[in-house]
Structure formats: C-alpha cells, structure tokens
Amino acid sequence: MRNKGFSSVVTNEMKLKLPSCSVNEGVARAVVAAFCAQLDPAASELADIKCAVSEAVTNCIVHAYRDSVGWIYITVKILEGGGVRVEVRDRGCGIADVRAARRPLFTTDPSGERSGMGFTVMENFMDILRVRSKPGKGTNVVMFKRLSRRGENT
C-alpha cells in the first residue's frame, strides 16, 4: 500500500492558495492548524504539523519563487481513522536532486542563514514525507500524520 496505514477515504478537505509573501508563512500554518483542530489532536501533534507546514511554505517563498512571486497551493485532507494529509505545491524553479536536497544540513542558500534542516523537520515531525519535483516546473510536497484523537478511547 502506497500511504502505509493511512486510509484513502477523505472525510473533510480544505484548499488554500496564497502568494509567496513571507507574511503568509504564519498565515498558512495557523489556517492548517485550525483546520486540523477538528480532530482534537494533542498540542504537540498540532505543533509538529505547524512546523512542517511552515517549512514547506517557507521553501516555496525562499527557494521556489526566489526571484519572483508565485502561488502556493495547499491542500489538507482529513482521513478516515484520524490521519491528515497535507500537500504543499508550487510552480517554481524545482529541485534538480531531491535525494541530496532532503539530506540534513543541505542548503543551496547558506548566505540567507538557511539551516538546511527544513526537509529533516518535515520528515521527523510527520509520519510520511513525499517530495516530487521537476526543474523548471515546480515541487510537490506531500506529508501524512496520524493524530491520537484524545477525544476517543483508542
């Protein structure tokens, strides 16, 4: 099965489209967290999702649309059984070598004080991270996370 342990049944869905202005980093994570709050997750789980979304959105702003402003497309799906799927997509410059880019400390922009830890955060704070990219076309980041559903006796 492709998305190990996650249902493909979607019970709720949200789409958000924002221009790549840095003020939208905070907007994006706040909106996604508000949407995910319907699952009554633990505070730490919500914090993880906010951080992962912040990383993906910041990458669109800092890297994908480095010299321009473009749209960032965010889709959040609530999955049956208490998981979430978050997709962050851009039509920016793309990544030539995704494997290299995902390594801890890898950055193409050290002068901007980038830590090269964005993908590492997404990987560790979420359960699944999938990155697809085409140079010149854009990048698609998909993340899954299982939430504990404090409200239920699971």
Ligand X SMILES: Nc1ncnc2c1ncn2[C@@H]1O[C@H](COP(=O)(O)OP(=O)(O)O)[C@@H](O)[C@H]1O
Residue 28: which H helix or E strand, with range?
helix 24-36
How far is residue 127's CA from residue 72's CA, in Å, rounded to a whole number?
A: 22
Residue 108 lies near ligand X (rule: CB under 6 A): yes
Residue 57 lies near ligand X (rule: CB under 6 A): no
Contacted entry of other proteins, Mg ion, ligand X, none for residue 11, CB cut-off 5 to 8 Å set by kind: none
Spell out, one character per residue from 33 to 62, where the chain touches other proteins: x when CB under 8 A holds, - when not.
Answer: -----------x--x--xx--xx--x--xx
Q: Of the ranges 22-30, 73-81, 91-99, 144-152, which one interacts with other proteins (CB under 8 A)?
A: 22-30
What crossing angle do the helices spanning 43-59 and 24-36 adopt, rounded to 10°?
140
Residue 29 lies near ligand X (rule: CB under 6 A): no
- The C-alpha torsion from 53 through 116 and 135 to 137, rounded to 10°, is 20
Give the one residue of 49, 74, 86, 101 binding ligand X; rule: CB under 6 A. Answer: 101
Exposure string of 68-95, with b = 16+ CB inside 10 Å and e = fewer, is eebebbbebbbbeebbbbbbbbbbbbbb
Q: Of the ranges 12-20, 21-29, 45-53, 113-121, which one interacts with ligand X (CB under 6 A)?
A: 113-121
CB of 154 to other proteins, least distance (A): 23
CB proximity list for 34: less than 8 A, separation 6 or greater:
none
| Residue among 59 and 133 whose Cβ is closer to Mg ion | 59
Give the one residue of 4, 67, 68, 113 binding other proteins; rule: CB under 8 A. Answer: 113
Describe the strand order of the beta sheet including 138-146 as a list of residue ranges: 10-19, 71-79, 83-90, 138-146, 128-134
Residue 16 lies near other proteins (rule: CB under 8 A): no
